Structure 1
Amino acid sequence: MTATMDDVSGDTAPSLLVFGGGSGIGLAAVRLAAGRGDRVTVADLDPVARSRLAELGQRLGAEIGFIECDVTDGASVAAAVGHVLARHGQLDQVLTTVGGATIADVPDLDQSVWDRELSFNLTSAYHVAHCVLPVLAARGAGALVLTSSGQAVMAATDRAGYAAAKAGVISLTRSLAGSVAARGVRVNCLAPGPTDTPRFRAMNGGDEGVEAVRAAMPMGWIPQAEDCAEVALFLLSDAARAVTGQTVHVNGGLLMP
């Protein structure tokens, strides 16, 4: 998708770019942000997301931009950032919710699985940060939120590659935050636990597996995608202007690191 400078808006509403905004927590953040009037663009690899977002925009009376993007490819991420700058003239907030685990016990964790987990879960975060932080720093304002997982601080024996990559995201968050703090830019990290999304339900075997997870939750219910999205949007907002380099766990009390 190519944008022209004719599309640039003089609107003062925040310009938000969501990587992985076609589903799950990312889509929930898009729905909330677009509903309050933010200028939202989604970068996602799933082409079906375009029509899903168009329908959402119609319901909300909002125009939600879309660009197909592979976050494991730095050039693709750079194109997404360029698209937003051409369309809106500025970039204020960036959220990346990309991630996913390959279930494999430690003895079965061969290098192909390891490399795939690091590329999708950690290197993708690097690509996003590498492309957006210079843009935000040049303006002297803005915020980036990366997404880790509660698995990052657990003994995740069935997804060790994923857990290691997501632990790397937490460390990367601190390093990035320290590097741009003096430029007026903030970087924080969202760490969801069990979240009631279609993918979560599929990975847990449907209703029976989901009920087993719910029974183990201290608060008696499983957080929804919107619960995580609200925290991410708070971290991106001026209400969190004194918060940087932090990882916020959203898991209904299941994990208290």
Structure 2
Amino acid sequence: MRERVALVTGAASGIGAAMVRELAGRGWTTAALDLSPAEDASHSVGVDVSDPAQVRAAVRRIERELGPIEAALCAAGHYTIVPVSDIAWPDWQRMLRVHLGGVVNVCKAVTPGMVERGRGSVVAVTSELAIGGGNAEAHYAAAKGAVIGFVRSLAAELAPSGVRVNAVAPGPTDTPLLPADSPWRRTAYLQGLPAGRLTAPEEVALAAAFLVEDATFCAGEILSPNAGAVI
């Protein structure tokens, strides 16, 4: 059996860390890209995913040391609640650089090798806010919406080569990204969800692992593990 190598960005905490644990439990060798060390990963590289040169160098290093990357899961990101009138231009740019730029940079680094081998899977983390919008979250929703457009376009481009590109669009997820006073943790909001609770990061990781391992029929799909926040 050949060793299967999965690259996970944003793997030091939250959804990315859950993805690392899920894939490791399925026998994958996991390589993490994050500004902070990813303790659960087999291999961790300190990288700013918004910097294409850093991402290219990290991918070359990982493939040299571990082998070809068979799956890339893009979970790096950040989140703030700010009214549109108060969002400074640098904040718009950073949101796009990290979320959209991070996915683009990883895809440009890993997919040429996948295409050459005729196999591979990319899963990007977007958000239910990209589908339904959110109050005082326009910069985040816009960046995540751009990820959906990129995923669907790249999926159409690469599907004939055997490389699949998909995404997960979780709703509010029980991670440190949501502070204790977040409106998404309020009882009134949770009671309005069909599931009555936040999504667990492990559930998002399960959806991503399904897209990587089992969903060979999926290309350009957006799965929504969001506790019914968007139906």
TM-score range, shorter chain: over 0.9
User: Could you tell me how far apart the structure 2 residues matched to 1:159 and 1:14 are?
Assistant: 37
Give 5+ residue unaligned stretches, structure 1.
Answer: 1-10, 58-63
Q: Deviations over 1:211-249 (max 9, x none)?
A: 444222211222210000000011011x11110111111
Which of these residues, 211, 229, 251, is aligned with residue 205 of structure 2? Answer: 229
C-alpha root-mean-square deviation of aligned residues, in Å?
1.7
Secondary structure (helix, strand or coil) at the match of 1:193 reads coil
2:196 alignment partner in structure 1: 220
The one of 122, 131, 138 aligned to 1:160: 138
Task: Give the superposition deviation at 1:252.
Answer: 1.0
Q: 2:5 matched to which residue of 1? A: 15
Deviation at 1:203, TM superposition (A): 5.6
How many aligned positions are there? 231
SS at match of 1:221: coil
Distance 1:198 1:43 in 2: 18
Q: Paired residue for 2:43? A: 65
Matched ranges for 1:232-251 at <5 A: 232-237=208-213, 239-251=214-226
1:135-174 equivalences in 2 (<5 Å): 135-174=113-152
Asked if the contact 2:78/2:177 (under 8 Å) is kept, the reply is no
> Which among 20, 32, 57 is matched to residue 30 of structure 1?
20
For residue 69 of structure 2, give the secondary structure of its aligned residue in structure 1: coil
Q: Does 1:74 align with 2:52?
A: yes
Once the two structures are superposed, the pairs formed by residues 113-128 of structure 1 within 5 Å of their partners are: 113-128=91-106
Query: How many angstroms does 1:182 deviate by?
Result: 1.0
Structure 2 SS opposite 1:250: coil
Q: Distance in 1 between matches of 2:48 and 2:34?
A: 7
Aligned partners of 1:106 and 1:158 also within 8 Å: yes
Candidates 96, 112, 124, aligned match of 2:74: 96
Letter in 1 for 2:79: A
The structure with more radius of gyration? 1
Cα distance 1:211–1:74, how it changes in 2: closer, same or farther (>3 A)? same
CA contact (8 A) 2:18 2:201 kept: yes
Identity of aligned residues (%): 36
Deviation at 1:26? 0.7
Q: Which residue does 1:42 correspond to in 2?
A: 32
Deviations 1:102-150 (CA, angstroms, capped at 9, x unpaired): 3210111231221111111111111111111111111110100111101
What SS does structure 2 have at the residue aligned with 1:92? Answer: strand
1:201/1:210 contact within 8 Å kept: no
What TM-score does the superposition give when structure 1 sets the normalisation length?
0.85
d(CA) in 2 for partners of 1:197, 1:155? 20
